[in-house]
């Protein structure tokens, strides 16, 4: 129907989100995954008129991990596009920052609104035409599953030469895990996240992540904690992977320029290099296992340097307020927040001469350990200040802290693409999570001025507070704890043209 537009597509998509009550019930039930997750996804795929074997033609590089999987995917995408400039390379990632279209990219560019609408409603109409075949299977997929189906459909329709496919949560039961034979699979750093779903130990999480390994397919991983590495090796053997490899360090890492900031990106780049190398070798040669790279080819070097992945250790100069600099990192685990502070608390960024006023904007979803996260931020900052011989006290590092919800605008509305039904109405009304974070901050730093701790109902309120502070002085703003928060800041602060 010609009257269908982008707004219509996003409204339909948002109707598939899981609401807050269902999420809370799932958390209360403990670690329990849907036993029918993969069979349901396969049936959804068949209802949009594809088979799993069809997906093998997408030439998939499948990536999971707790932190860094988005960055590793971006590095891999950039390397392939530089190594094979005549190819079409598809990239599927999550979440998005400002527009849902960011999740489905071809040759580095998000689908246009026109193409998004086209592929969205082709999938929608096929699902409605071809109803469920199995009793008790859902009529429609949830939000993430739908976008995964749509990505498969778009990439098949566009006849991409290669596909980088990032897992949503876990691996074994993830909706991306229906490709029978990827070209290569890789796992980034493991940590404790989504424990209510994946389990509460590194071993349990490794078991889920290792579920992307496939028979006859190379199984790669970065260095892991011993417990995690042992489980991954067993999973590779159990699933009959072609071989298991702990990826070598990045050749010439001291002289390689990376397009993404942060020391932790070296490991993500190393995984990307090995995945791209393995992928290209499988295209050009018959032997399964490629020789290790002793030095990086020019396209690999160019790909790593040109990688862009907004909202991850990103510095953005405010285009309208010249004395304001935004530091954006969607870190949402204790490990990634530690990496975030490692990046921020260094000369030329959070540490300057003369020193700017520093503001922290923070939020995390109610299922995550906000108080522990704030402790991580302060402990890491203290450690870094001591290590760099700074006399500055961690209690005085931030002049203001802002705890806001992920609601986009001050009138209580979301931008369409940023709508979240996972937020409890009661939590939003009373700002329960934000008040808990503020109370924790006061407990951790009893001397912190109460009038410099702000609990605010929206991201727009947070940006307005920053603007009031910045009227008088130079200001550095660190926004972290949630990619949804970072995306909202980019939208509301008018940073999209320079940040994305």
List, as residue ranges, the binding site for ATP: 312, 329
User: In angstroms, what CA-CA distances link 408 with 22, 141, 310, 414, 461?
Assistant: 23, 26, 18, 5, 9
Distance between CA 299 and CA 346 in Å, rounded? 31
Note whether 176 and 165 are within 8 A (CB): yes
- Which residues touch 474 (CB under 8 Å, ≥6 apart)? 323, 324, 356, 357
Binding residue numbers for Mg(2+): 94, 166, 194
Give the C-alpha separation, 333 to 346, whole Å: 21
Selection from 270, 184, 276 nearest residue 223 by Cα: 270
Cα separation, 341 vs 355, whole angstroms: 17
Give the integer Cα–Cα distance in Å for 319 and 230. Answer: 49
Element (H, E) at 279: helix 265-284
Residues 6+ apart with CB under 8 A from 285: none
Task: List residues forming the annotated binding site.
Answer: 94, 166, 194, 312, 329
214 within 8 A of 241, measured Cβ to Cβ: yes
Residue 423 near residue 405 (C-beta atoms within 8 A): yes
At 325, give phi and psi (nearest 5°): -120, 135
195's enclosing H/E stretch is helix 195-198
> Tokens at residue 281, please?
């070798």
108 CB-contact burial (10 Å; exposed 0-12 / middle 13-18 / buried 19+):
middle
Q: Is the backbone of residue 79 left (phi > 0), alpha (psi -120 to 50) or beta?
A: alpha
CB 218 within 8 A of CB 278: yes
Residue 254: partners with Cβ closer than 8 Å, 6 or more residues away: none
């Amino acid at each position: 129907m010609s009257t269908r537009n982008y707004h219509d597509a996003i409204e339909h998509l948002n109707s598939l989100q899981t609401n807050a009550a269902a999420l809370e019930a799932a958390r209360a039930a403990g670690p329990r995954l849907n036993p029918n997750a993969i069979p349901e996804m396969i049936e959804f795929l068949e209802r949009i008129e594809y088979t799993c074997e069809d997906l093998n033609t997408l030439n998939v590089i499948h990536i999971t991990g707790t932190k860094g999987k988005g960055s590793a995917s971006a590095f891999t995408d950039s390397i392939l596009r530089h190594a094979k400039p005549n190819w079409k390379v598809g990239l599927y990632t999550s979440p998005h920052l400002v527009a849902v279209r960011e999740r489905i990219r071809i040759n580095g560019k998000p689908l246009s609104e026109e193409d998004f609408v086209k592929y969205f409603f082709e999938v929608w109409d096929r699902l409605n035409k071809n109803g469920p075949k199995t009793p008790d299977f859902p009529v429609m997929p949830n939000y993430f599953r739908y976008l995964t189906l749509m990505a498969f459909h778009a990439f098949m329709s566009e006849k991409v030469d290669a596909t980088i496919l990032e897992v949503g949560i876990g691996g074994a039961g993830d909706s991306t895990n229906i490709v029978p034979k990827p070209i290569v699979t890789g796992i980034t750093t493991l940590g404790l996240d989504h424990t209510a779903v994946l389990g509460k130990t590194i071993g349990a999480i490794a078991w889920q992540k290792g579920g992307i390994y496939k028979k006859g397919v190379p199984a790669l991983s970065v260095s892991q904690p011993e417990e995690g590495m042992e489980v991954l090796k067993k999973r590779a053997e159990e699933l009959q992977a072609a071989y298991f490899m702990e990826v070598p360090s990045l050749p010439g890492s001291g002289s390689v320029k990376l397009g993404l900031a942060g020391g932790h990106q070296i490991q993500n780049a190393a995984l990307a290099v090995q995945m791209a190398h393995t992928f290209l070798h499988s295209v050009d040669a018959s032997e399964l296992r490629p020789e290790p790279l002793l030095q990086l080819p020019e396209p690999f070097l160019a790909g790593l340097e040109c990688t862009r992945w907004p909202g991850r250790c990103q510095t953005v100069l405010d285009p309208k307020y010249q004395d304001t600099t935004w530091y954006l990192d969607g870190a949402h685990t204790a490990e990634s927040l530690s990496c975030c502070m490692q990046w921020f608390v260094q000369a030329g960024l959070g540490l300057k001469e003369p020193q700017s006023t520093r503001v922290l904007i923070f939020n995390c979803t109610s299922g995550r350990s906000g108080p522990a996260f704030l402790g991580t931020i302060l402990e890491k900052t203290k450690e870094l200040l001591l290590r760099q011989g700074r006399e500055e006290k961690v209690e005085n590092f931030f002049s203001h802290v802002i705890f806001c919800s992920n609601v986009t605008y001050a009138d209580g509305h979301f931008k369409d693409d940023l709508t979240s039904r996972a937020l409890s109405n009661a939590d939003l009304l009373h700002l329960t999570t934000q008040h808990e974070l503020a109370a924790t901050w006061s407990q951790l730093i009893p001397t912190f001025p109460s009038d410099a701790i702000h609990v605010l109902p929206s991201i727009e309120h947070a940006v307005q507070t920053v603007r009031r502070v910045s009227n008088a002085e130079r200001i550095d703003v660190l926004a972290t704890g949630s990619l949804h928060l970072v995306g909202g800041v980019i939208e509301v602060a008018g940073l999209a043209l320079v940040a994305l």
